[in-house]
Structures are given as C-alpha cells and as structure tokens.
Chains A and B, each alone.
Chain A
Amino acid sequence: MALITYTLKTLQNSQRSLLSACSSTLRHPVGYKSAISLETLYPTSSLKITTPIFDSSNSNEKFSGYIPIKKLDITYSASSGPGGQNVNKVHTKVDLRFKLSEADWLHPDIRQKLIEIHGKKLTKEGYLVLRSDVTRFQQLNLADCLQRLRQMIRNAAEPSPTSDPETAEIIRKRHLRAVRQRLLVKREEAQRRALRQPPTIQDL
C-alpha cells in the first residue's frame, strides 16, 4: 500500500483553504463522496434542507390542512387530576382560542359553516375555544387541540348533502310506512286490551 504524507499545517489545496487548520471541526471538504452518498441515491434532489411554504392557491380544496399558528391564541395552565407536585407545577393544559369571525385564514364558506355548527359554543366575544389536558406532555396536548381543530374545519368543509327528488320521495314513503306501522301496532294492542274487559249491556 503506497501512502502519501500530509501534515495538517501544509494543507494548501484550494478546497482545503476553506478550512481553518486549527478548527477542531474539520469541515467536510467537497472531496469525499462514497458510492452510496445522497447524490447517487437521489440524483434529482437538491440535497438541501429548506423551509418550504404551504402554497394553497393552486388546489381547488377550501382547506389545505395548513393552520397559521401565529394567528391562534395559545395559553398553558396546570392540568387537573392526580399527580402530586408535578401536576401542580407543570403547565401541561393547553387552551387554544381564536376569534372565528376574524379568522381570515379560513375560507369564508368554512367560516360560515363553523359559525352555524359551533355558534352556540362561542364565548361572548366570539372566540372558539379548544382545551386539552389528555396527556402529561404540553406538546402532545397542543397536537391534540390542533388535530381536533383540523377535524372541525374538515367537517365544515365537506359539501352539504344535495337533496335529490327521488331520495326525498323515498324518505317520505319510508316515513309514512313507519307511521302506518306504528298506528297498526297501536290499534292491535288497544283491541287486545279491550277484549280483556268484561262484556257490557250493549254487547249482550
């Protein structure tokens, strides 16, 4: 095995000039790439960690799943239940609220539907409140609140069922049939009970 000797102080290569010889973290020069490096595994990828932005303008859906956390008012408090000193000290209960009428990040149709469904649950100022203290972790309770909020929005985003004349007719007939059945049973029962009574002068 033929070797070549380099000293750390004499690294003069242009690639190595990016490094400072005295730094304890030797910056990984562009040189070493094995046969299973990420470049070979994902040739079309940019191999960079970035912060992508949710772009919902393209899709036709009313709700893309994105919730701007900054626009929500989140507060933490102590949870209830057993747990001694820890449950008293640690604020694991999450209170998530936002003013439904001013939620511009929601599609107007969804906003309207939410007001219809949850209108009675809003506070006096018009805030929709979600609370969670299911787990012992603040992060998981917050995740739970967001999951419930997302589910509420998705349910509101669902299109209301269209009234089909044929379906309406079927439902009407079903209803009448149920009424007829109920009255039939009622009459039978009444007759049975009447036959148990002793005979009157009129019968004789």
Chain B
Amino acid sequence: MASRQIREKALNMLRSLPRVGIYNIRDNPGSRKTQKRGRGQHGGDKHGAGNKGSGQRQNYMRLGYETGNNPFYLRFPSENYYKGHHLKRQYPPLSLESLQTLIDLNRIDTSKPIDLAEIVKSGCYTFYPDEKQFGVHLTDEGANIFQAKVNIEVQWASETVIAAIEKNGGTITTAYFDPHSLFLLKNPKRYFQSGQAIPRRMIPPPDAIEYYTDASKRGYLADPEKVSQARLELAQKFGYELPKIEDDPDYEMLCERKDPRQIFYGLEPGWIINLKDEVILKPKDEQLIQYYSS
C-alpha cells in the first residue's frame, strides 16, 4: 500500500488537475501490441506461421477438431435425465415404521424433542452431507401402525406423515440445515472436540424457502398461528379428532422449537463446548455476541 504522503499527494493532484477524459489518458505500457508483420532474421521468413498445414495456409481447423477422429466434445452424448442432478438436494428416507421400531426398542427417547442428531445417535440411520444429502425424509410407510406421541423435527415430510404424527398428539416441524450444520448434527462430539465455536445455521436456498415458510408443511419459518389452523384443517381432511394439545402435560416439550439460527437444542451459536472439562465457553465481546445473534 502506498504511504500516507504519497496518497495525499495523489489526492491533491486529483483536486487540482483537469477532469479525466478520453483526451488525457493512455493505455498501460505493454498492454497493446502492434500487429506488425515481423521482419529480419527473427521475425521474417515464415512470420510465425510455421510450415505448411492449415496454420500457414490460414485455413484453420475448427476448435475441438482432432484431425478426423471422434473429438472429445462429441464422444459423450448429453443425458438430460441427469441434467441438474448435481444441484438437487437429496433426503434419505426413514419410514414411520422404523421410527416406531426405534421408539419401541428405546433407541429414541420420546420424552425429549427428536431431531436429526437424535435419529443419527440411535445408530440405525445414516446420511452423508458431503453427497448432497440434506437430512431425513420421513415417509408414510407404517402410518397406520404409528402410535407414539413425539415432538419431531425432520427435513421433509408429506401430509400423511404429518397427519399420522398429529393424530397421536405429537408435533412435527420441517427444518432446513445447511451442509456445515449437518456435519455438526451428524457427529456433534467430533465437532466439539475440534474446539471451534458453534456456528449459526444458514437460511434455506431460494428454491426451498417456500417449502419451509409454509404452515401446511409445518415449516420452521412459518407462523405458529397458521400452523395451528393447518393442524385443524388436516384433522378434518384425514378424519380424526385433533387432540387438545394445550391440555397435554407435555405441552412445553411438544412446543419446544429451535431458533432459525440454532443448530442444537439448548446450545447457542458462538459457544465453545469443552467436553473434557464439562465447561461451556461463551463469548463476551459485544461484536461477537452481535454477530452470533444476527
């Protein structure tokens, strides 16, 4: 960087000199080369066009041509079936039947909210965030036998699944986690051991925002009042009496929700979890606190 004096000198010059226009500027030296035909020992003779062939005869081959054999750019046919596949998000499925099995075998505790970390912790479900997999898709297989009352947070769920869960007095939320957060959820212990602060969760991409702000899909960004209305509508559609959730002794647990920037229940962004000494380190600096709650 130029020193302060040089900067000031330049600014003073700018103030006093005439307006910069096309008449008082020039190119940087060496930026334009003259298209002169070379002469003499080094520039003459073949004038840089080589020997014979299309190069000297100014009859150039088209770009990509490989002198007759099947060129690289034509060897592979276009497969529209796979068009955009690298941009699509995947949600590996987990059926309601397997969820019920896990609950029955006490691999998942229903007295606390269930999220992706809890499902992965049960040991019977894996997903790979580095392979464009964005979380769990709860499927409706086993909707007729599902009986547990849970507060579950998944990444994708259909109407039948939502109905099956709410019929038993539970609640379901669909929430988005960006890939970095997914790595945290998959293996929180490994992340905490790395000593990094918990990051903020990012908002969904533009094509997913509509889904997660929809009350009928129980999106985590939807208005809870609209969600209550959608619960009633779904109960009417699928023909069950909606249990009164306010009178439920577990009402607080069932209504527990993460903030849109939170990754874990009870842990805020910015905290460093020291598992060895069983200590949480929280930031004290104003700027940091502001950043992590932005």
A→B interface (CB under 8 Å): 1-8, 24-28, 31-38, 41-42, 45-52, 54, 65-67, 69-70, 72, 74, 90, 92, 96, 137-140, 142-143, 145-147
Contacts and interface: CB of A to CB of B under 8 A. Distances in A.
A47 B228 CA distance: 10
Interface string B107-124: 000001100000000000
Nearest to A150: B236
Interface string B252-269: 001111111110011111
A48 B285 CA distance: 33
Given A48-B224, A90-B144, A143 B240 contact: no
Given A34-B261, A137-B144, A137-B160, A3 B282 contact: yes
B11 interface: no
B190 interface: no
Given A38-B224, A51-B231, A146 B236 contact: yes
Chain B at the A interface: SS class: loop
Contacts of B53: none
A6 B259 contact: no
A145 B245 contact: no
B144 A45 contact: no
A22 to B, nearest CB: 12
Contacts of B256: 27-28
Contact of A65 (B236, B267, B272): B236
Interface residues of B, number: 58
Contacts of B200: 34
A26 B267 contact: yes
Given A37-B259, A143-B238, A26 B266 contact: yes
Nearest to B248: A51
Interface stretch (B12-20, B61-69, B71-79, B273-281): B273-281
A171 to B, nearest CB: 40
Contacts of A35: 261, 293-294
A6 B282 contact: yes
B155 to A, nearest CB: 18
B284 interface: yes
B285 A7 contact: no
Given A4-B282, A8-B280, A51 B223 contact: no
B239 A2 contact: no
Contact of B228 (A50, A67, A70): A50
B246 A50 contact: yes
B143 interface: yes
